[in-house]
Chain A
Amino acid sequence: KQEVTQIPAALSVPEGENLVLNCSFTDSAIYNLQWFRQDPGKGLTSLLLIQSSQREQTSGRLNASLDKSSGRSTLYIAASQPGDSATYLCAVRTGETSGSRLTFGEGTQLTVNP
């Protein structure tokens, strides 16, 4: 059974700091990994999608890496801003059909202080 773990559970940093969020998964037979952001009481916003054959993806100040063999992914946020405060979730996809499920981590709650 696939298990996804995110460390740390919570993180508080001053504005402007670069930071790294970690995600690990137990079964390396994944098809892709997706990072999401969730604001309090809201749905999930997709940030980055990394296919299993890729090593990293970048979007603006965000960079996500994937080491499939070791079961790890990181989300790097450069020059953090108060607006980045949210819960960040990683999820892995373990099937090749459109109905294949995502397995989520518990999330990292990020607070960026002005």
Chain B
Amino acid sequence: GAVVSQHPSRVICKSGTSVKIECRSLDFQATTMFWYRQFPKQSLMLMATSNEGSKATYEQGVEKDKFLINHASLTLSTLTVTSAHPEDSSFYICSAGQGSWRDTIYFGEGSWLTVV
């Protein structure tokens, strides 16, 4: 099946710094990718929809200046957490579909962010 890869799987950064998480579709082109955040023992919370070649669409309550999303190509989307704070520590997951609403949505392995 289709594969979506995230990197890094774990990252620790200092408070006030920025960290970038990459999401790649390895064997298909994804015009749209999705970024989620997951708190312990909770379900996924959609943060934003990443559109290739255009601005991301953010969910209500998500700070677009803090969570910068860039979808530079059909196989790569990046999430940059700027000026990270300990409350940004979380599990971040991306997903992508193959283009049609009929298609399976595939998820990356997730990235654990710890801000110290």
Q: Give Cα A107 to B104, complex, Å.
A: 19
Find out whether the CB atom of B44 lies under 8 angstroms from the CB atom of A104.
yes
Known: A41-B91, A41-B112, A107-B43. A98 touches B6 (CB 8 A): no
Q: Give Cα A87 to B1, complex, Å.
A: 21
Q: Give Cα A95 to B105, complex, Å.
A: 13
Known: A51-B102, A98-B99. A46 touches B93 (CB 8 A): no
Find out whether the CB atom of A44 lies under 8 angstroms from the CB atom of B43.
no
Find out whether the CB atom of B43 lies under 8 angstroms from the CB atom of A89.
yes
Number of interface residues of B (CB under 8 A): 30
Find out whether the CB atom of A42 lies under 8 angstroms from the CB atom of B49.
no
Please indicate the chain A residues that have their CB under 8 angstroms from the CB of B93 in the complex. Answer: 43-44
Stretch at the interface among A11-19, A28-36, A68-76: A28-36
Known: A43-B93, A98-B31, A99-B49. A34 touches B101 (CB 8 A): no
Please tell me which one of the listed residues B1, B51, B100, B112 contacts residue A46 in the complex, with CB atoms under 8 A apart: B1
Any B CB within 8 A of the CB of A55: no
Please indicate the chain B residues that have their CB under 8 angstroms from the CB of A105 in the complex. Answer: 43
Binary CB contact string for chain B from 76 to 109 against chain A (1 if under 8 A, 0 otherwise): 0000000000000001010101111111111111
Known: A41-B91, A99-B32. A46 touches B106 (CB 8 A): yes
Find out whether the CB atom of B32 lies under 8 angstroms from the CB atom of A43.
no
Q: A43-B107, A102-B105 are in contact. List 4 more A-B contacts (CB 8 A).
A: A46-B105, A89-B44, A96-B101, A102-B34
Residues of B within 8 A of A (CB): 1, 6, 31-32, 34, 42-44, 46, 49, 51, 57, 91, 93, 95, 97-110, 112
